[in-house]
Amino acid sequence: MLPSRADEASVDCLEGAAALSRDGERARDTLDSIGDAVVCTDLAGRITYLNAVAESMTGWVRQEACGRLFEEVLNLVEGTSRAAAPNPLALAIRQDGPAALNANSVLIARHGREFAIEDTAAPIRDRRGQVVGAVMVFRDVSAARSLSLQMLHLAHHDFLTGLPNRLLLNERLSQTIASAHRHRKSLAVMFLDIDGFKGVNDSLGHVVGDLLLQSVARRLVACVRGSDTVSRQGGDEFVVLLAELSHPEDAAHVARKIVTESKSPHQIGEHLLPAAVSIGIAVYPVDGVDAATLLNNADLALLAVKAEGGGAFRFFGAPPTGAGPG
């Protein structure tokens, strides 16, 4: 007996379903074998699919995650503010096109581990072109982002002391000048160096000299506010930026404190080393209204202190009788 057309149609449907099932399994196998995480949602924002990498990074297994809202499974925050990051899949559906998280986004997994991630999201369309959901592909970039931050830190900080370097000081000084101008405040720039430092290097070597510089740096930081900046310019030269002073005389108080503290010797290994400092001070706006002028005038004041024997501080333009720790 020949098969009817209905029987043939039934067989065709079964074969088609089997083919679709095989295609679906093949697609899932493919997505599970790639190195990026893949997450899909429907139009309501509920999870419809996680691949193996997404399971590992989120801490959710596929069967448990499916049907849950995207925000419940993927806890995304801004890396700096820690505020909740916008849902890139919802954005892709809303604007009917590609979307992405901000560059500093972080995924907080179910088990608490954090991943710096980069992603792309796009709407999913059916065969008729209708948007039926969205897909997000993302990857762990924690190592790359950490390396980038390390390189940025090295570009702006002194390798020996960890203090801001000349580049970062100039940026902060320009910003502080702008702020002082807006709020009609003063600021002070202190240029200082260590008296007799060359003798330490020559007699005890650069290793001991470096340890002494690190000790001096720590002591300087302890003498100023958290809003101030201590910078190493190179060699035994440091610059201290005192931000938004109520009165220029406040700079003299800080300078006196630094000079006094510097007269206590530093314990470097078996050596008890002196490291008295000389300080030249320039005040905004009376001694300059830009970074270069203030630094130059503070340096000139420092040279005047050194010429008088060192171990003291002096304001730019002050007569010799006005110098000293007072």
Question: Which CATH number do you get for residue 246?
Answer: 3.30.70.270
Instruction: Say what the pLDDT of residue 30 is.
Output: 67
Domain count, the chain: 2
Do 267 and 244 fall within a single domain?
yes
**Residue, of 16 and 29, whose pLDDT is higher:** 29
Instruction: Say what the pLDDT of residue 325 is.
Output: 41
Residue 202 pLDDT level (bands cut at 50, 70, 90): confident
Of 147, 173, 202, which residue sits at a domain end?
147
Which of the following is catalytic: 193, 195, 236, 299? 236
Do 167 and 134 fall within a single domain?
no
> What CATH number did the domain enclosing 132 receive?
3.30.450.20
- When pLDDT is averaged across residues 314-326 and rounded to a whole number, the result is 64
For residue 246, being part of any structural domain is answered with: yes
Do 196 and 126 fall within a single domain?
no
Do 197 and 302 fall within a single domain?
yes
Residue 144 pLDDT level (bands cut at 50, 70, 90): confident
For residue 15, being part of any structural domain is answered with: no
| Residue 199 in this model has a pLDDT that exceeds 80 | yes
Residue 24 pLDDT level (bands cut at 50, 70, 90): low
- Condensed to tens digits (0 to 9), the pLDDT of residues 147-182 reads 877 888 788 999 999 999 999 999 999 999 999 999
Do 120 and 199 fall within a single domain?
no
Instruction: Say what the pLDDT of residue 317 is.
Output: 85
For residue 116, being part of any structural domain is answered with: yes
Instruction: Say what the pLDDT of residue 326 is.
Output: 38
Cis peptide leading into residue 285 (ω within 30°): yes
Active site (annotated) includes residue 236: yes
Do 304 and 191 fall within a single domain?
yes
Instruction: Say what the pLDDT of residue 37 is.
Output: 93
Of 147, 165, 189, which residue sits at a domain end?
147
For residue 20, being part of any structural domain is answered with: no
Residue 64 pLDDT level (bands cut at 50, 70, 90): very high
pTM for this entry: 0.64
Residue 238 structural domain:
157-322
Do 85 and 199 fall within a single domain?
no
